[in-house]
Amino acid sequence: MSDEQAHDELGERLKEFAGRPAAVAGRGKDPVNAPMIRHWCEALGDTNPAYTGPDAVAPPTMLQAWTMGGLTGHQGRTGAYDELLGLLDASGCTSVVATDCEQEYLRPLRPGDEVVFDTVIEEVSARKTTRLGTGYFVTTRTEVRVDGEPVGIHRFRILKYAPAPRGPRTPRPRPVVNRDNAGFWQGVAEHRLLIQRCTACGTLRHPWLPGCNACGGPDWDTVEASGEGTVHSYVVMHHPPFPAFTAPEEGAAGPYAVGLIELAEGVRMVSNVVGVPYDKVRIGLPVRLVFRRYDEDLTLPVFEAVDR
Amino acid sequence: MRAGEPLPPLEIPVTRTLIVAGAIASRDYQDVHHDAELARQKGAPDIFMNILTTNGLVGRYVTDHFGPAAVLRKVAIRLGTPNHPGDTMVLTGSVEEVDGDTAVVRVVGANKTGTHVTGTVTVTLPAGEAAR
Ligand SMILES: [Zn+2]
């Protein structure tokens, strides 16, 4: 069975968990109480007087805290939730991170309130690749009650994922060199950016092609680019992250700018814009050709922002 | 209180103490929120703030601004880049809509690496204060 088939099969099994209870009549380990409220307020620097004194209410955002299992684990959790997490663990998705939290507060909680809660698995996503790794989003919805009366609703989403390997830096993909563009790459090897020129009509062209777009002529020679240019257009790649395309000084897999550079000679080429933060790249930005060495076997023409 | 009204920014120095104290106060003992070595084994550069602390800080940001009589009705947040020790998270917000005594406030918390949290907070004010 291929990896993809295995993932699809797991995905189908995971989807079946939607609608199943994750906790039934779970009980908060402690009643709502002043010491835990005080610790929370101290930790978060919350000096709201509503949370102290004889008429104190609990900070509403503590809703989930009253349902937490702590070091001794959750009570009232069903087999379904453990089974779901177990399947994910077994598939390599051993790490967990919370991504979303939506809480609705129906009435304030006060010291002495004894919290009871039911949790349902609302959704398990398809397999997703994120910056952290590949995994599945699991959404649960918890209803919190006191004396049978609903006091709050809490929707929570986690990502269960297999951490992305943090091995050696991913190398850039190699250029595909063929008969039609070999001259271009030969030029790059000599740190010369060569533009093709039709010998019949004189039209410049880039990228390299076997024939002239203007007259169809098959014969050509080359002109060396001066290296001056401007950003004609650009995109910033945020997601998915490609560590290979990010300059080391910009972090492991941060966003990067891809420019369509208009060379002084009039042709345009796609390349990285370097030496300027990705969010400072603008249309019209003057740039100059530099040859950047990415690894032992790869040097590429890229464009550096210049003051002009 | 009217739609478009900005809230003054609130700077939260993200100390190791805040991350650990927030995790424990919310009874979240996931190791990534208090044990740097285990956090690194799981691919993070250091411990990072748990979502319950972020949620609490977003709530605090709104009640700090509107005062102790303001009552939180809903807090909905999404996390982005993590809050690590040494970061400063700057919370900013603006009133997105007002309906009688109830306002929806959009909140963003950013640190040096990007947006840590985006969310909306629905808050009710006592009648007299809502009209201000
Ligand atoms: Zn031609």
- Domain architecture of chain B: domains with CATH: 6-124 (3.10.129.10)
Test B75 with A48 for CB contact under 8 angstroms.
no
Q: A182-305, what's its fold?
A: OB fold (Dihydrolipoamide Acetyltransferase, E2P) (2.40.50)
Q: How far apart are CA A199 and CA B24, in angstroms?
A: 74
Ligand 1 ion: nearby residues, β-carbon < 5 Å: A 198, 200-201, 203, 212, 214-215, 217
Residues 6+ apart with CB under 8 A from B19: B33, B34, B47, B48, B49, B50, B53, B83, B85
* pLDDT number for residue A248: 47
The ipTM of this complex is 0.96
Distance A202 CA to ligand 1 centre (A): 6
**How far from the centroid of its chain's Cα atoms is residue A217's Cα?**
46
Q: How far apart are CA A50 and CA B24, in angstroms?
A: 22
Write the CA distances from A185 to A75, A88, A182, integer angstroms.
Answer: 65, 46, 5
Which has more confidence, B114 or A59?
A59
Residues 6+ apart with CB under 8 A from A16: none
Is B69's pLDDT higher than 70?
yes
Which stretches of chain A score pLDDT less than 50? 1, 248-252
Distance A117 CA to ligand 1 centre (A): 76
Listed by number, the residues of chain A in 60-89 with a beta carbon closer than 8 Å to a beta carbon of chain B are 60-62, 64-65, 68-71
Q: What residues in A contact B42, CB-CB < 8 Å?
A: 95, 163
Distance A225 CA to ligand 1 centre (A): 19
Listed by number, the residues of chain A in 261-300 with a beta carbon closer than 8 Å to a beta carbon of chain B are none
* pLDDT number for residue A29: 94
Q: What residues in B contact A166, CB-CB < 8 Å?
A: 43
pLDDT tens string A1-47:
456 666 678 888 999 999 999 988 899 999 999 999 999 999 999 99
Phi, psi of A26 (to 5 degrees): -65, 145
Write the CA distances from A195 to A68, A181, A203, A273, B26, integer angstroms.
Answer: 65, 11, 10, 19, 63
* pLDDT number for residue A224: 96
What is the DSSP code (8-state) at residue A77?
B
Q: Is A60 exposed, middle or buried (0-12, 13-18, 19+ CB in 10 A)?
A: buried
Distance A198 CA to ligand 1 centre (A): 5
Share of chain B above pLDDT 90, in %: 83
Domain boundaries, chain A: 3-163, 182-305
Q: Which of B37-41, B68-72, B117-121 has the lowest mean pLDDT?
A: B37-41
Question: What value does the CA radius of gyration of chain B take, rounded to a whole number of Å?
Answer: 16
Q: What residues in B contact A98, CB-CB < 8 Å?
A: 50-51, 79
Encoded tokens for A105? 């507060």
Winning range, highest mean pLDDT, from A7-11, A72-76, B4-8, B41-45: B4-8
Is B18's pLDDT higher than 70?
yes
* pLDDT number for residue A5: 63
Distance A182 CA to ligand 1 centre (A): 20
Test B68 with A45 for CB contact under 8 angstroms.
no
* pLDDT number for residue A169: 62
* pLDDT number for residue B130: 55
Distance A183 CA to ligand 1 centre (A): 18
Q: Which residue of A has its CA nearest to B70?
A: A50
Mean pLDDT to the nearest integer, B74-95: 96
Residue matched to tokens 């972090």: A251
Distance A212 CA to ligand 1 centre (A): 5
Q: What residues in A contact B27, CB-CB < 8 Å?
A: 29, 65, 68-70
* pLDDT number for residue A123: 95
Q: What residues in A contact B74, CB-CB < 8 Å?
A: 102-105
Rounded to a whole number, what is the distance in Å from the CA of A133 to chain B's nearest CA?
9
pLDDT tens string A213-257:
999 999 999 999 999 999 999 999 887 767 677 654 444 456 788
Which is it for the CA torsion B74, B80, B85, B87, positive or negative?
Answer: negative
Q: Tell me, yes or no, if B77 comes closer than 8 A to chain A by beta carbon.
A: yes
Listed by number, the residues of chain B in 8-47 with a beta carbon closer than 8 Å to a beta carbon of chain A are 12, 18, 21-22, 24-30, 32, 42-43
Reported confidence tier of residue B29, pLDDT bands at 50, 70, 90: very high
* pLDDT number for residue B132: 52
* pLDDT number for residue A251: 43
Class of domain A3-163: alpha beta
Interface test with A, best of B27, B74, B102, B115 (most A CBs within 10 A): B27
CB neighbours of residue A263 within 10 Å? 22
Point out the residue among B12, B42, B56 whose CB comes nearest to the CB of A61.
Answer: B56
* pLDDT number for residue A220: 96
* pLDDT number for residue B128: 64
Rounded to a whole number, what is the distance in Å from the CA of B5 to chain A's nearest CA?
22
Test A50 with B30 for CB contact under 8 angstroms.
no
**How far from the centroid of its chain's Cα atoms is residue A257's Cα?**
16
Test B59 with A59 for CB contact under 8 angstroms.
yes
